[in-house]
Structure 1
């Protein structure tokens, strides 16, 4: 019973922390606020996570463990390159709209602690590009798509999907849109990004 109670409490903490981090970001979040949201006292929160940084990392790893298998499955299934681009973009943007704090956290952590990528890569479902590379090479060789390396194509996909989250404040200011209209803009990118990349590699 004690173990079950501990697991339930930790789940409450992670759920509460995710909500606070999502609405206020890493810097704006407060441990007391997270404790209140989880219906526990601050001492109990510190018992589970000694610092806000450790709690943020735990929230990230939980979220990444949900996203990574989806992306890995898409990259390694038997669909065409075009279908992969559409599915990857749709799944990635859908997930990040729900977890907008993650891209900035990844960049922040990699700048602060480069070895953090090794912790991420230890996830059994960390996306693997081997099959994707072979597929791109084959489609380039048969003339199905324009000559491009799999690495460059993947960078294009990731860049176009991730920047709207990394550069959200700048884009909102330049486009003069509020938070609600920006969400609409992000939803429309599921189609826009896919079509842009596919048209760029089509013969």
Structure 2
């Protein structure tokens, strides 16, 4: 007598993984969803579905979608600040450094359009 060990239906949910990797996946998906749907149109359910989590599991990483948006913006500003630190440490004339910083913001906007939109064009969330 043979016994089947495969389930008739498998969950679309992802297996448990490293918390830092999962947070990064959530942030990447949320960034895209916030840009596509706007803050009000984005839901925890949409974000959770995108990364293969239940809403409950997503809440283990973030308390609400406002915290997710704040984290995206914080990460964006950290990346920009890191770029600027190198420019500011340079010994080039001040006007040259200022120009490089301005060019860096423009370049960043083209390289990371979703993050740039969220950080600079999203109304303050309270």
Provide the residue aligned with 1:198 in structure 2: none
- When normalised by structure 1's length, the TM-score is 0.46
Structure 1 residues 87, 25: closer, same or farther in 2, change over 3 A? farther
| Structure 1 consecutive aligned stretches of length 4 or more whose deviation exceeds 3 Å | none
Q: Greater relative contact order: 1 or 2 (C-alpha under 8 angstroms, separation 6 or more)?
A: 2
Q: Is the Cα–Cα contact under 8 Å of residues 71 and 92 in structure 1 kept in the other structure?
A: no
Provide the residue aligned with 1:96 in structure 2: 109
1:4 CA drift (Å): 6.1
Structure 1 residues 36, 77: closer, same or farther in 2, change over 3 A? same
SS at match of 2:124: helix
Q: What number of residue pairs does the alignment pair up? A: 107
Structure 1 unmatched ranges of 5 or more: 113-203
Q: Is the Cα–Cα contact under 8 Å of residues 17 and 34 in structure 1 kept in the other structure?
A: yes
Provide the residue aligned with 1:19 in structure 2: 32
Provide the residue aligned with 1:82 in structure 2: 95
Question: 2:124 aligned to 108, 127, 135, which one?
Answer: 108
Instruction: Determine whether 1:50 maps to 2:81.
Output: no
| Structure number having the greater helix percentage | 1
Structure 2 unmatched ranges of 5 or more: 1-15
> Alpha carbon RMSD of aligned pairs, Å?
2.3
- When normalised by structure 2's length, the TM-score is 0.71
